[in-house]
Amino acid sequence: MDALVIGAGPAGLMAAETMAARGLRVVVTEAKPSIGRKFLMAGKSGLNVTKDEPLPAFAAQYDSDWLAPMLAAFGPAQVQDWCRTLGAEVFTGTSGRVFPVAMKGSPLLRAWATRLAAQGVVIRTRWRWTGFDGDGFAFDTPQGPQVLHAPKVVLALGGASWPRLGSDAAWVPWLRAKGVEVAPFRPANMGFGVEWSPHMQRHFGTPVKGVALLAAGRRERGEFVISARGLEGGGIYALSAQIRDGAALVLDLMPDVGMAEVTARLSRMRAGESTANRLRKLGLSPAAAALVQEWGRGLPLEAALKSLPAQLTGPRPLEEAISSAGGVTRAAVTERLELHALPGVFVCGEMLDWEAPTGGYLLTGCWATGRWVG
Q: Find out whether 2 and 19 touch, Cβ atoms under 8 Å.
A: yes
Q: Are residues 112 and 260 in the same domain?
A: no
Q: Are residues 169 and 218 in the same domain?
A: no
Q: Are residues 35 and 145 in the same domain?
A: yes
Percent of the chain with pLDDT over 70: 100
Give the residue numbers spanning the domain of 273.
192-315
Q: Are residues 200 and 67 in the same domain?
A: no
pLDDT, position 170: 96
- 271 falls in which pLDDT band (50, 70, 90)? confident
Instruction: Find the mean pLDDT for residues 46-71.
Output: 94
Q: Are residues 18 and 141 in the same domain?
A: yes
Nearest to 275 by CA among 251, 254, 298, 259: 298
- Name the domain boundary from 295, 315, 335: 315
Range with the lowest mean pLDDT among 38-52, 60-74, 221-235? 38-52
Instruction: Find the mean pLDDT for residues 62-66.
Output: 92
Instruction: Residue 89: give its domain's CATH number.
Output: 3.50.50.60
Q: Are residues 213 and 295 in the same domain?
A: yes
pLDDT, position 187: 96
Q: Are residues 137 and 35 in the same domain?
A: yes
pLDDT, position 42: 80
pLDDT, position 316: 95
Q: Find out whether 234 and 223 touch, Cβ atoms under 8 Å.
A: yes
Asked if the model's pLDDT at residue 250 lies above 90, the reply is yes
Asked if the model's pLDDT at residue 178 lies above 80, the reply is yes
Helices marked H in the chain: 10-21, 37-42, 55-59, 68-73, 76-85, 106-118, 172-177, 234-238, 240-244, 259-267, 275-281, 286-295, 301-306, 361-373
Q: Are residues 178 and 204 in the same domain?
A: no
Q: Which CA distances in Å does 274 have to 30, 199, 225, 270, 278?
A: 60, 17, 26, 9, 6
Q: Are residues 329 and 307 in the same domain?
A: no
Q: Are residues 280 and 324 in the same domain?
A: no
Instruction: State how many domains the chain has.
Output: 2
Q: Are residues 123 and 224 in the same domain?
A: no
pLDDT, position 272: 85
Q: Is the pTM of this model over 0.85?
A: yes
- 253 falls in which pLDDT band (50, 70, 90)? very high
Q: Are residues 47 and 140 in the same domain?
A: yes
Asked if the model's pLDDT at residue 43 lies above 80, the reply is no
Asked if the model's pLDDT at residue 74 lies above 80, the reply is yes
